[in-house]
Amino acid sequence: MPAHNPFTPEHDLFRQSVRSFVERELAPHAQEWDEAGLFPREVFKKLGDMGFFGMRHPVDAGGQGLDYWYVVAFAEEIVRSRNAGLNMAMLVQCEMATPVISEIGTAEQKQEFVAPALAGDKIAALGISEPDAGSDVANLRTTAKKDGGDYVINGSKMWITNGTRADFITLAARTGGPGFEGISLFTFPTDTKGFSVSKKLHKVGNLSSDTALLYFEDCRIPARYLLGEEDQGFYYIMMNFQGERLVAAVSAVAGAEQMVRDAIAYGNERQAFGRPLVKFQVWRHKFVEHLTAIEAAKRLAYRAVELFDDPETRPGAVKEISMSKLFAGDLVQKVAYDCMQFHGGMGYVTETDIARAWRDSRLVTIGGGTSEVMKEILTKLVPGL
C-alpha cells in the first residue's frame, strides 16, 4: 500500500470543494431534515451539478473516468453533513445503484439511466434485499418471466434506500431456477405500470433517508433493460457489493474520526470539577486509543482501496474489503458509544450531533452485508479455517 499520502494535489482540491459545499449547503440542515424524515430532492441535483457523483464513472456514462481515490475523498468529506441518512442516499446514487450499469450496461442503458443519475436529474435505488432475503441474496423470490420481447416482474423488495422517490431501480430478480445461478439484473423505471411503494419504513437511525418496501405486480419491461447476461446477476451483485462495502467502511472510519474530534473540542469547553472535561485521564486515554484504532482502520481501508482501484487486483480485494467493513463497523459503534457517554446528558438529547451519530452508526454492521456475513466470507479466505 502507499507508504505516504495517496492523494494528489488534484484530489486535495476536489476534497476541499466537497468540504466547502457540505459545510455550507448540507450540515446546517442536519436536524431539520432528520425531523422531517426526508431531505429535498433538489439536493441530488446540487451534488450532480457540482460533479460529485461521476468521478469514477466512465466518460461514456456521463462520468469523469477518474480513480477511486476521488470517491474516498468524497466519502470522507460528506460525513461533515452530520446526517448519515443523506450520506447514504448520495452514496447509493453514485456508488451502489449505478456502478454496475456503468460496468456491464449497454450504451443505451448508460445514457438512459446512469448519465441522468450522475447529473442529479434522476434518483437511483438498488433493489436487491427482500423481506425474506437480505444478506442471503441467493434466495431472493422476485421473479422476471420472459414474455416475447419483454420481462414480466412480480415480487417485492425491502430496505430500499431512495425507494419512495427513485426514478429507476437497479433490480435483481429470478429468471431461472433456485439458488444463485438463476438471478438476473435489470434497469427498472419506476413509472412502469404495476409498480408501487407499499410502505415507507420508519428506522432507528438514518432518519432523513427514505427507505421503502416496494411491490411489483405484473410489471412489464422491455428485454433491453436486462443488465449483462441472463442468469449471471448473482456474480454482478457480488462484484457490486465490493464497492458498496468499501465505501461504507471508508465513510464509517471518517465518521468515527469526526466524532472523536468533536468530543475533544466539546471537552475543552466543558468544565467539570474545576477543569476541562477532556483533561481527565480516563477520557484522554480513551480518545487516544480510539484515534489509534481509527488510524489502523484507515490504513486497512486504504489498502483495500489500492487493490480495488487496480483492475488487475480488484478481484482479489474481497478479503481486505471484508476485513475493512468488519473492523470499521465495530469501531464506529464503540466510538459512538464513548463519545455519547462523554457528552453526558447533552449526548442524550436527540438534536445533538453525537446523538444523531450514535443512532446512525448502528447501521454499519447491518447494511451491505452484516458483520457476521463478513466473518463468514473471511473464513473462506483464510487457509486452514
Instruction: Dump pLDDT digits (tens) for 239-289.
Output: 999 999 999 999 999 999 999 999 999 999 998 899 999 999 999 999 999
Residue 174 DSSP code: E
Average pLDDT over the chain reads 95
Q: What CATH architecture applies to the domain 234-379?
A: Up-down Bundle (1.20)
pLDDT of residue 327: 98
- Active site annotation includes 244: yes
Contact of 114 with 103, CB cutoff 8 Å? no
| Chain length of the chain | 385
Instruction: Dump pLDDT digits (tens) for 161-173.
Output: 999 999 999 999 9
Within 13 Å and on the Cβ side, how many CA atoms surround 217? 5
d(CA 47, CA 140): 33
d(CA 369, CA 31): 28
pLDDT of residue 5: 83
Q: What is the mean pLDDT of residues 120-147?
A: 91
Q: What are phi and psi of 230, to 5 degrees?
A: -65, 140
d(CA 52, CA 95): 11
pLDDT at 182 over 60: yes
% the chain with pLDDT above 70: 99
Contact of 210 with 38, CB cutoff 8 Å? yes
Q: What is the mean pLDDT of residues 324-340?
A: 98
pLDDT of residue 224: 97
Q: What is the mean pLDDT of residues 377-381?
A: 95
* Confidence band, pLDDT 50/70/90 cuts, at residue 357: very high
Overall pTM > 0.85 = yes
Which among 334, 370, 335, 340 has a CA at the least distance from the CA of 353? 340
Residue 206 DSSP code: -
* Confidence band, pLDDT 50/70/90 cuts, at residue 136: confident
Catalytic residue among 77, 244, 257, 320: 244
DSSP 299-314: HHHHHHHHHHHSTTTG
- Burial class (CB within 10 angstroms; exposed 0-12, middle 13-18, buried 19+) of 210: buried
Given CATH 2.40.110.10, say whether it is the number of domain 125-231.
yes
Contacts of 81 (CB under 8 A, 6+ apart): 22, 26, 27, 30, 87
Q: What is the mean pLDDT of residues 328-342?
A: 97
Which among 109, 18, 21 has a CA at the least distance from the CA of 55? 18
d(CA 286, CA 341): 12
Instruction: Dump pLDDT digits (tens) for 220-236.
Output: 999 999 999 999 999 99
Domain ranges of the chain: 9-122, 125-231, 234-379
pLDDT of residue 1: 42
d(CA 244, CA 241): 5
Three cell numbers written together for 124: 437511483
pLDDT at 133 over 90: no
* Confidence band, pLDDT 50/70/90 cuts, at residue 82: very high
d(CA 309, CA 298): 16
Q: Which CATH superfamily is domain 9-122 in?
A: Acyl-CoA dehydrogenase/oxidase, N-terminal domain (1.10.540.10)
Contact of 241 with 368, CB cutoff 8 Å? yes
H/E element, 156: strand 150-161
SS3 2: coil
